[in-house]
Every structure is written in structure tokens, then in C-alpha cells.
């Protein structure tokens, strides 16, 4: 499949298409988010998970609104129908407010290795819902690629932990709670992708930037309405005195809720939702590099094998 570059209107002298545009954007989003996870980890440890979650969504929404104003002259995508806003907004609540928040808490309880192994299930939720509600029937090569990528991601994520072993020994009750939180994160991410696709289905001219803005605003409002009344303002303000934590949060917000989420919706709009989610779920594969550079965390042999399998599975998706 070939897609028109979004910045070139039909008939433009630079009108061009590139093969597998949506799939390429999904992989790019996964690479960016793999680096984002390093900064969110630092911010979460220094500021607290709740503070990070309260600030990342509205900060991302402000960046998106400013970009939308500069590029379109409007703060809000006024041409978007209400039913489309409902689906895209629901995707933000499910994926960004609920799913990502649960995933961040899973990181603090059972660590990223176990959490991301469970997150490999996200494409399953997307494929099942998109197949049933959007009619996105996937062929044999695509289904094989989905299975291979999931298998490779799981294998890479469950490789033997090396280094300090902070999460080497976990109490059964804590492990169960962490795995359930990661499962909520996987379901939220997978269902959120399908809902976003439903909101953008049949709207060929819908701007992914506008859709991302709607998604982020709905998620921010939902999270603040539910969580903020339960917090003590003094505690939140005191946590913001940590300059390194705030700087890490700013970088993470620019890379994650702003750039990465925007690119991910470009991917979802330009390819099947299930395929996009499988490629977006390859973050555990790409996170090996920043983890190695920042934390000196070398991947195990099993992880290297999982990476090779996942790359082979993504190749099958491109050949479908």
C-alpha cells in the first residue's frame, strides 16, 4: 500500500507517495516513545507518579493546541463532527488517561521488563475490536506477522534481568497487582487505538494533529476530574521543586504526549489499526538502546533473539 504525504495536496508539484507510510510512522513513534520512557522513569521517581500523570496530559494538550493554532489558524478542530469527537475522545480516556496511568504504576511495582511483556498483548485487543467493528480483515501474512511480533516482544521482555536486580524478587501480592495494572495498560492502549481508528474512519480529510489534540484534551479533563480532588495541593507543589525531575518531565512530555502520540495517530489513520498497534507495541525492542546507554543495562541473549524475531515479524507485515 502507498500513501500520499500529508503535506502535499493533490496536484502539488511535490506530490509524492511513499510505500507503507502508516507502518513507517508507527515504528518512528515506537522509537521516540522508547526514549520517552527513560525520561518518564526519571520524572516518576523524583516527582511521583501522580504528579507526572496530572501534568503530562495538559502539558501535551497545550503543545498540541499551540501547534494546531500555528498550522491551521484555529485552536480547535471545528470541522470535526461530534460523533467523531466522541470516539476519539473515548480513545484518549481509555488509552492515555487510564491505560498509560496504569502502565506507569506497573513500572514502579514490577519494573519495565515484566510490564512491557504484558503490554505485548495490546495488539490483540486492537485486532479483535477492529476486526469485529471496522471489518479490517487481515490476511494470512498479516496474522502471521502479528503473532511473530508479539512472540518476539514477549521473548525480549521476559529475558533474564541483569544489573542491580531491583525487581528481581517481588512478593506474590505485589506481582499480581503489577501484572493486572500492566494488563489494564495493554487493554487501554489496544482499545484506544481501535476507538481512534473508528473516529477517523471515513474522514479522509481529518487532520491527525486535530485528532490528537481532541484525544489529549479529553484524557486530561477526565484524569483531572477524577484524580485532582483526591490530592493535596501543597504536596504536589513541593514535588515540583525538584528541577531535574521537572526537566525530565518537560522532555518526556514533548517527546511522548506531544510528538509520539501525534505520529501514532498518523500511523493509525494510514494503515490498519491492528497493524499500527503491533508496530507501536515494539517499544520494548527499541528501549534496549536507551536502557543500555543510560542505565548500562545490557540485553540478555534471550532478549537479542526476541528482537530478531520481532523485526522478522514486522517484515512480514510490510510484505502483506
pLDDT in tens, 30-64: 999 888 887 887 888 789 889 998 999 999 999 99
By residue count, the chain amounts to 320
- pLDDT mean over 252-261: 88
Q: For residue 218, tell me if it sits in a domain.
A: yes
Residue 230 DSSP code: G
| Whether residue 182 has pLDDT greater than 70 | yes
Per DSSP (E only), the strands in the chain are 2-4, 17-19
Residue 168 DSSP code: S
Q: How far apart are CA 261 and CA 257, in angstroms?
A: 5
Q: For residue 2, tell me if it sits in a domain.
A: no
- pLDDT mean over 250-269: 88
Distance of CA 55 to the CA centre of its chain: 17
- pLDDT mean over 284-291: 78
Q: For residue 123, tell me if it sits in a domain.
A: yes
Higher pLDDT among residues 203 and 255, named by residue: 255
Q: How far apart are CA 184 and CA 196, in angstroms?
A: 18
Output the pLDDT for position 112: 72
pLDDT band at 79 (very low <50, low <70, confident <90, very high): confident
Q: Do residues 251 and 39 touch, judged by C-beta distance below 8 A? A: yes
Q: For residue 300, tell me if it sits in a domain.
A: yes
Task: Provide CB contacts within 8 A for 188, sequence distance 6+.
Answer: 94, 95, 98, 99, 100, 102, 103
Q: For residue 9, tell me if it sits in a domain.
A: no
pLDDT band at 8 (very low <50, low <70, confident <90, very high): very low
- The radius of gyration computed from the CA coordinates of the chain, to the nearest angstrom, equals 19
Output the pLDDT for position 3: 40
Output the pLDDT for position 66: 92
pLDDT band at 168 (very low <50, low <70, confident <90, very high): low
Helices and strands in the chain: count of H runs, count of E runs: 15, 2
Interval 229-245: pLDDT, tens = 998 888 888 889 999 99
Give the predicted TM-score (pTM) of the model.
0.79
Q: Is 165 exposed, middle or buried (0-12, 13-18, 19+ CB in 10 A)?
A: exposed
Q: For residue 96, tell me if it sits in a domain.
A: yes
Q: Which residue has the cell 502479528?
A: 146
Please tell me the least confidently modeled range out of 22-31, 97-106, 158-167, 169-178: 158-167
Q: For residue 164, tell me if it sits in a domain.
A: yes
Output the pLDDT for position 218: 96
Instruction: Determine the structural domain holding residue 295 and report its residue range.
Output: 18-318
Q: For residue 7, tell me if it sits in a domain.
A: no
| Count of domains for the chain | 1
How far from 17 is each of 6, 42, 92, 185, 275, CA to CA, in Å?
9, 39, 29, 34, 20
| Whether residue 247 has pLDDT greater than 90 | yes
Amino acid at each position: 500500500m502507498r500513501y500520499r504525504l500529508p503535506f502535499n495536496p493533490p496536484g502539488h508539484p511535490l506530490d509524492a507517495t511513499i510505500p507503507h507510510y502508516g507502518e513507517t510512522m508507527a515504528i518512528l513513534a515506537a522509537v521516540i516513545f522508547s526514549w520517552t520512557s527513560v525520561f518518564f522513569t526519571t520524572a516518576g521517581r523524583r516527582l511521583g507518579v501522580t504528579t507526572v500523570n496530572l501534568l503530562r496530559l495538559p502539558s501535551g494538550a497545550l503543545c498540541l493546541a499551540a501547534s494546531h493554532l500555528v498550522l491551521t489558524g484555529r485552536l480547535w478542530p471545528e470541522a470535526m463532527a461530534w460523533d467523531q469527537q466522541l470516539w476519539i475522545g473515548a480513545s484518549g480516556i481509555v488509552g492515555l488517561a487510564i491505560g498509560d496511568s496504569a502502565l506507569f504504576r506497573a513500572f514502579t511495582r514490577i519494573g519495565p521488563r515484566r510490564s512491557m511483556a504484558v503490554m505485548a498483548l495490546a495488539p490483540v485487543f486492537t485486532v479483535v475490536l477492529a476486526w469485529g467493528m471496522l471489518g479490517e480483515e487481515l490476511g494470512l501474512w498479516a496474522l502471521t506477522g502479528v503473532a511473530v511480533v508479539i512472540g518476539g516482544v514477549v521473548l525480549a521482555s521476559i529475558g533474564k534481568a541483569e544489573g542491580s536486580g531491583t525487581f528481581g524478587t517481588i512478593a506474590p501480592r505485589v506481582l499480581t497487582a503489577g501484572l493486572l495494572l500492566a494488563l489494564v495498560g495493554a487493554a487501554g492502549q489496544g482499545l484506544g487505538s481501535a476507538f481512534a481508528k473508528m473516529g477517523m474512519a471515513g474522514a479522509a480529510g481529518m487532520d491527525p494533529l486535530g485528532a490528537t489534540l481532541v484525544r489529549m484534551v479529553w484524557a486530561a479533563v477526565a484524569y483531572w476530574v477524577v484524580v485532582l480532588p483526591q490530592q493535596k495541593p501543597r504536596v504536589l507543589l513541593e514535588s515540583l521543586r525538584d528541577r531535574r525531575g521537572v526537566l525530565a518531565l518537560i522532555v518526556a512530555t514533548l517527546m511522548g504526549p506531544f510528538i509520539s502520540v501525534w505520529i501514532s495517530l498518523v500511523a493509525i489513520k494510514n494503515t490498519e489499526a491492528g497493524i499500527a498497534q503491533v508496530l507501536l507495541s515494539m517499544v520494548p525492542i527499541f528501549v534496549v538502546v536507551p536502557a543500555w546507554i543510560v542505565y548500562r543495562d545490557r540485553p540478555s541473549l534471550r532478549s537479542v533473539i526476541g528482537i530478531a524475531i520481532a523485526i522478522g515479524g514486522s517484515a512480514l507485515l510490510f510484505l502483506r
